[in-house]
């Protein structure tokens, strides 16, 4: 994996040799982004199968079930992690061959998830790029590019595709506090693609939306409920509110694997609260921002109601309201392929 904690200062590849290391990497955000952690979890299970000392298939299946529970606990909000683990376990449970056949099947399914992710991302990018006009200025929140997926990306992948197709785009990159995924990761990716950008503070988005200089807002999602409510990186809700108040379309870009039809609405999505040190550890001019004895709250996600979303870009097309029926149709389309 690329250690995303070190970018943009250092580009470092790190190797992992067992599923516990993968779990820790997901929890500590060495790797992040819903599609990326879905594939990472799947490969974590593949590692569990390869390193197991089980002498029969039933024993290995028991180990894989236990490993899946451990990996799943790393990040509770992003449904792709659970989805990837479930896919691998279904293949494992259905394998009728011997021990080595089971190991091979688990690895093959993990690789299939990774390969599919690239193809799905590029399909979403083509649908989403059609929503972007030549000359658009776009506000983008968090990081949703290649770093957040196996490759290409979701919302940033849409912007990348529009640029590749020759459309002139300019991106205003939300810093995305407290971990600054926008300023650190999205800006770094945009430089690789040679897409013009400027970094703005999260709380400057409203100013730019009201000024008339922004035409679109794009963001990703970590879990979407059946009605179109979406949990995404903290700050998305405020961005969508400001966009809605200024009649600027706000688009969410998610693969159908991120849509959780078992949850009727977004209030049921579990929200991860991370270490307060991520907030309190920020520095300015080399000095801590907060007083020494300060306390902090650090929800990693918020829920944006579906009424604030202009359209949901999936690999099966752009879903428009009514979301409840149309999202279900998009998910069912994927399940038939």
CATH number for the domain that contains residue 189: 3.40.50.10470
Scored b (16 or more CB within 10 A) or e, 103-114 reads bbbbbebbeebb
> Which of 260, 239, 217 has its CA nearest to residue 77?
260
Domain ends where: 100, 118, 136?
118
Same domain, 114 and 140: no
Give counts: helices (H), strands (E), the chain.
12, 13
Same domain, 82 and 202: no
Question: Which uninterrupted H or E stretch holds 313?
Answer: strand 311-314
**pLDDT for the residue numbered 78:** 83
Give me the catalytic one of 202, 222, 260, 302: 222
Tell me how far the alpha carbon of residue 31 is from its chain's centroid.
Answer: 10
The CATH number of the domain holding residue 64 is 1.20.120.420
Taking the CA atoms of residue 220, residue 114, residue 169 and residue 212 in that order, the dihedral angle to the nearest 10 degrees is 0
Asked, for residue 9, whether it belongs to a domain, the answer is no
Average pLDDT of the residues of the chain: 96
Phi/psi at 60 (5° precision): -65, -40
Beta strands across the sheet bearing 230-233: 259-260, 223-225, 230-233, 301-304
Asked, for residue 3, whether it belongs to a domain, the answer is no
Same domain, 156 and 41: no
Domain ends where: 118, 153, 174?
118
Asked, for residue 2, whether it belongs to a domain, the answer is no
Q: Is 153 left (phi over 0), alpha (psi -120 to 50) or beta?
A: left
CA atoms of 136 and 132, how far apart (whole Å): 7
Same domain, 109 and 213: no
Same domain, 142 and 104: no
> Which of 246, 253, 215 has its CA nearest to residue 232?
253
| Domain extent at residue 113 | 19-118
Same domain, 179 and 91: no
Same domain, 105 and 165: no
Same domain, 25 and 150: no
Same domain, 231 and 305: yes
CA atoms of 262 and 149, how far apart (whole Å): 24
What's the pTM value of the predicted model, to 2 decimals? Answer: 0.94
Helix axes of 19-27 and 34-51: crossing angle, nearest 10 degrees: 160
Pairing mode of beta strands 301-304, 230-233: antiparallel
Q: Is 53 exposed, middle or buried (0-12, 13-18, 19+ CB in 10 A)?
A: exposed
Asked, for residue 325, whether it belongs to a domain, the answer is yes
Give me the number of domains the chain comprises.
Answer: 2
With a pLDDT cut of 70, the percent of the chain lying above it is 100
**pLDDT for the residue numbered 335:** 80
Same domain, 113 and 62: yes
Same domain, 240 and 294: yes
Asked, for residue 138, whether it belongs to a domain, the answer is yes
**Span 190-209, pLDDT tens digits:** 999 999 999 999 999 999 99
Asked, for residue 145, whether it belongs to a domain, the answer is yes
Asked, for residue 12, whether it belongs to a domain, the answer is no
Same domain, 89 and 152: no
Low-confidence residues of the chain: pLDDT under 50: none
Domain ends where: 88, 118, 148?
118
Q: Based on the residue annotation, tell me whether 222 is a catalytic residue of this protein.
A: yes
């Amino acid at each position: 994996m690329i250690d995303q904690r070190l970018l943009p200062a250092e580009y470092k590849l790190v190797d992992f040799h067992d599923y516990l290391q993968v779990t820790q990497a997901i929890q500590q955000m060495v790797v992040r982004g819903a599609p990326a952690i879905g594939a990472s979890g799947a490969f974590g299970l593949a590692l569990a199968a390869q390193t197991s000392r089980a002498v029969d298939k039933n024993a290995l299946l028991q180990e894989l079930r236990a490993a899946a529970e451990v990996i799943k606990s790393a990040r509770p909000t992003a449904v792709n992690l659970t989805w990837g683990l479930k896919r691998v376990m279904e293949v494992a449970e259905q394998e009728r061959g011997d021990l080595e056949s089971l190991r091979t099947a688990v690895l093959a399914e993990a690789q299939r998830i990774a390969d599919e992710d690239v193809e799905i991302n590029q399909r979403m990018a083509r649908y989403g790029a059609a929503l972007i006009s030549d000359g658009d200025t776009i506000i983008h929140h968090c990081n949703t590019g290649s770093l957040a997926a196996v490759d290409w990306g979701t919302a940033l992948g849409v912007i990348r595709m529009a640029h590749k197709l020759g459309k002139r785009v300019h991106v205003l990159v939300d810093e995305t506090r407290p971990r600054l995924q926008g300023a650190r990761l999205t800006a770094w990716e945009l430089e690789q693609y040679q897409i013009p950008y400027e970094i703005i503070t999260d709380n400057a988005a409203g100013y730019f939306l009201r000024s008339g200089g922004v035409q679109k807002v794009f963001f990703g999602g970590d879990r979407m409920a059946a009605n179109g409510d979406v949990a995404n990186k903290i700050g998305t809700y405020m961005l969508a509110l400001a966009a809605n108040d200024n009649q600027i379309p706000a688009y969410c870009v998610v693969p159908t694997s991120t849509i959780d039809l078992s949850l009727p609405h977004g209030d049921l999505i579990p929200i991860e609260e991370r270490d307060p040190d991520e907030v309190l550890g920020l520095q300015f001019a080399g000095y801590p921002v907060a007083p020494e004895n300060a306390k902090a709250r650090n929800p990693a996600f918020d829920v944006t109601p579906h009424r604030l979303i202009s359209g949901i870009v999936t690999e099966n097309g752009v879903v428009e309201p009514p979301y409840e029926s149309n999202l279900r149709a998009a998910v069912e389309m994927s399940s038939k392929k």
